[in-house]
Structure formats: C-alpha cells, structure tokens
Amino acid sequence: MRTYTIDQLNAQDITAITKHLQGLGLGAGLEGLFWLPVALEHLSPTQQEHAAKCGPYALGLEVTEDALHLELLVRARNAMRCECIATAPPALRQHIMDYLDAMLVELGIHA
C-alpha cells in the first residue's frame, strides 16, 4: 500500500488537525480515521462510470499520536471489491498532498 506520511507532529498539532477534520464532517466513524473526498475530475473513467453504484470515492487519512498517514488508494464508499477501487493517479496524489500541506499552513503547523 502506498501512503503519504507527515510525521513528527506534536500533541497540539494533532488536536488542531483532528478538530479541523471533524469540523469539516470528514470523520469515518472510527477514532482517528477520516475520509477525504475525491472530486469527480480526479476520478478515472471507470470510477466515473461506477460513481452512482459504488461512490462516493475517498482517500483514507489516519491521524495517530504524532503523524498523518494518507492511504493513496481511492476507495469506493459503497463497495468493498470492485475494479473501480484503485491506486490514486499522479494528479490526484499531487492534489491531495497539496491539500494536506495547505491545511497545515492554514492551521499554523510547520511540519
């Protein structure tokens, strides 16, 4: 599994990140897990075709006591197994990494 990790965060950083993500309504129902939605323009043709049945699509983000771990797998929220579940393509990887970096800047976190 490919992941993007931001580590060496302190407890204050983790609290701010968690509150921010919860405030956006991105909680996955388990403590420390969040779903980052994938916009339609970042979906593959197969994912776009399956969107009504398998979507919405998201990337999983785990917040631990000192790090963020972004899973670079586009998951279908309404399907466990399908050909539409796939590794994030380069453009989406760059977009989501930029999103997380901007979130940290917005929160005043310099990781």
| Residue 83 within a domain | yes
74 inside domain: yes
Show the low-confidence residues of the chain (pLDDT under 70). 111
Please check whether residue 37 lies inside any domain of the structure: yes
pTM: 0.92
Write down the pLDDT at residue 110.
80
Structure tokens at 37: 């939605």
Per-residue pLDDT reduced to its tens digit, 29-47: 999 999 999 999 999 999 9
Domain, as residue range, for 74: 3-106
Does residue 23 lie in a domain region? yes
Give the separation between CA 8 and CA 111, rounded to whole angstroms. 7
**111 in a domain, yes or no?**
no
Domain count across the chain: 1
Is 94 among the domain residues?
yes
